[in-house]
Chain A
């Protein structure tokens, strides 16, 4: 019997946002990355358009990080010693974007200075042709100082500057406005907080197509269900026509999963957790691939193997045959 497929008639769609600028647009990126534009829920090709694939960003730091899992230290090796070299390695490993984050201090234990931030961004921009996202260590005053310098250094590159948070967004938004960048708006797993921050940022005259929203998530086993559902709700709101939620979403999967003991630690854990490296990469890849199903447009990961894994999943989800058949 012919079955009529139930279709939703969505009133709204996600905005498209372009990261990075090529020479034609006043930057130096070899190409840009465009995300968003969905007119339906993730990968429902039978119902609407998914004009842009979700993308994978690789997180790198301005210097060899402290406290990262040994698995990550082994995977990137000496290339972590220099942000430019690391960015190049990330590009070689297949990243679509580079997500540069700053620690609070340099290797010498001194606070990270605006000057060193500027230098690190310059190295990354020179080493790779990929669009770049840059975020501070997450402390308001430090973020503001570093990001203003970064915005100047990368003027015209359409960097994504983070983190704009409800208590600290003005300086970063002003820097983005002044130098042609985008912002990374981060809120704590709540639909209304996410919406509110977008409104505040937009009130400063930064156009909505220069905001990427980060509703944050927990890692697998550590609250992923909260992030997952908040993202589903945000995407539903966007499709139902709520304009302040119609932004592409980003999640920092690597930052969350590599804090989890399952990823970080290889010894003194139950045998039932399985082989460390396999488990750790599964932890990151499973978290990332499930959040892509709930609407993530950009996932930021740390391990090079996760980049490959998540790309393969995206390839599979973007194969737009409705049925597949076997």
Chain B
């Protein structure tokens, strides 16, 4: 947990009692130790510029500077999935940073050919969502057979079909060792250490420099294990609270996040792996819970486009930074292949505004030209109030998009909320007829039906 300026001050020369001989020496470039402490708290200065901080204070300051949820990474062939470093319970407080990795589970009992086929199609899956290309992140390979050769062969089959990172799943250290050998050259997640096998698993994780998932069915048990494993020299861990229901998952994952963020409880300050397929028959709803409520790695048991597409979109939506409205590029958008006589409509470049409008036109089967003005990512009313969506900007959009060359009429439909701009827009666009459309996008199809 970050320290306040005053807390930092007490660790600096000027804050010691009795004062350190070098209190307020100004050598750091700040007038007093307190001023320096404030800059440190604001992360606008580096502690290293002060030469008189005791080692004990340095340890305290660096421990406090460590993120409350340690980052864990798995990687292979240039692909990387990182989880951790989260700072808030609710996305509106700041943002969620690391989109949880979505992994598809295969078992070594599925057979090499079936694994290849399943992994190839899941690996190739790529869906375009508002210009972003969304994919799965990797695969989890489970040693269900209990046979080291079969496990190694399954991992080989997965690697033959995909370059993406892996989670290796076995509670048997000998099998895990075989798995790690088959995964040579990548950094997989080792799943998992438990109360019985943790020593051997910790050794393997250390040897292969791979993060280690730790599994226990109570938070007490988890905290015990992570401390023992840390003492054995493994720093990068992932928590598996072994839950079996949706309500249990929500409770455990919320408690873990609170302990890390609010209590700065180091033994549980690690990202979480979730297996939503084990929580509820409705695997999509369970995966949604895992994504929204704090999992860093999510292992799915089924793959079908109709199921993965909504999950990828949901993850994208929840991990959008609420402080930065998503914008679409201003310009001319053609909806349902419009012709020269089809209507011209204008709106702003706030993504939700754009998608509401384009979705209504598109969904209703109407054709149209949609002009998207650069309103700095604001919605129609907000942009109008802020002076970012006025007659001048709309006229400029008409001119720069070259819409005039594509249509045979001179008529433009304004959003109903800015009907007040009609007069000014007539002056800016001589020869154009300015029409006032509905206030809400939802009424556009009906408006277009009546207008045509």
Contact = CB atoms under 8 A, between A and B. Distances in A.
Interface of A: 1-6, 41-46, 67, 104, 138, 218, 220-226, 228-229, 232-233, 236, 259-262, 264-265, 270-276, 278-279, 282-283, 285-286, 289-290, 293-294, 309, 312-313, 316-326
B59 interface: no
B220 A2 contact: yes
A55 B162 CA distance: 43
B314 A272 contact: no
A285 B252 CA distance: 24
B222 to A, nearest CB: 8
Contacts of B252: 322-324
Contacts, number: 214
Interface in B343-388: 352, 355-356, 359-360, 362-364
Contacts of B112: none
Nearest to B446: A104
26 contacts: A44-B250, A46-B251, A221-B310, A223-B355, A229-B91, A259-B363, A261-B359, A262-B309, A272-B126, A273-B306, A274-B304, A274-B308, A279-B309, A282-B284, A285-B284, A285-B285, A286-B285, A286-B288, A290-B314, A293-B293, A313-B280, A316-B282, A323-B251, A324-B249, A326-B242, A326-B243
B120 to A, nearest CB: 15
Given A225-B322, A290-B292, A321-B248, A282 B307 contact: yes
Chain B interface residue number, banded: 35 or more
Contact of A279 (B130, B223, B306, B359): B306
Contacts of B284: 282, 285-286, 289
B128 A270 contact: yes
Contacts of A41: 254
A225 B320 contact: yes
A4 B223 CA distance: 11
Contacts of A3: 219-220, 223, 259, 265, 267-268
A118 B198 CA distance: 70
Contacts of A322: 247-248, 251-252
A264 B306 contact: no
Contacts of B130: 221
B307 A285 contact: no
B310 to A, nearest CB: 5
Contact of B310 (A233, A282, A294, A318): A282
A279 B352 contact: no
B282 A312 contact: yes
A240 to B, nearest CB: 13
Nearest to A268: B336
Given A1-B267, A67-B364, A225-B317, A273 B305 contact: yes
Contacts of B92: 229, 232-233
Given A233-B92, A316-B245, A43 B250 contact: yes
A272 B322 contact: no
B280 A316 contact: yes
A283 to B, nearest CB: 6
A101 to B, nearest CB: 13
A318 B247 contact: yes
Contacts of B242: 325-326
A321 B314 CA distance: 27
Contacts of A323: 217-218, 241, 243, 248, 251-252
Given A272-B127, A274-B304, A293 B247 contact: no
Contacts of B442: 138, 259
A68 to B, nearest CB: 11
Given A282-B306, A282-B307, 11 more contacts: A1-B267, A44-B250, A223-B317, A223-B356, A225-B91, A233-B90, A262-B309, A273-B305, A286-B288, A290-B292, A323-B251
A320 B251 CA distance: 10
Contact of A324 (B248, B258, B263, B308): B248
A289 B285 contact: yes
Given A273-B309, A290-B292, A44 B355 contact: no
A44 to B, nearest CB: 6
B305 A274 contact: yes
B352 A275 contact: no
A220 B263 contact: no
Contacts of A274: 304-309
B445 interface: yes
B52 interface: no
A221 B313 contact: yes
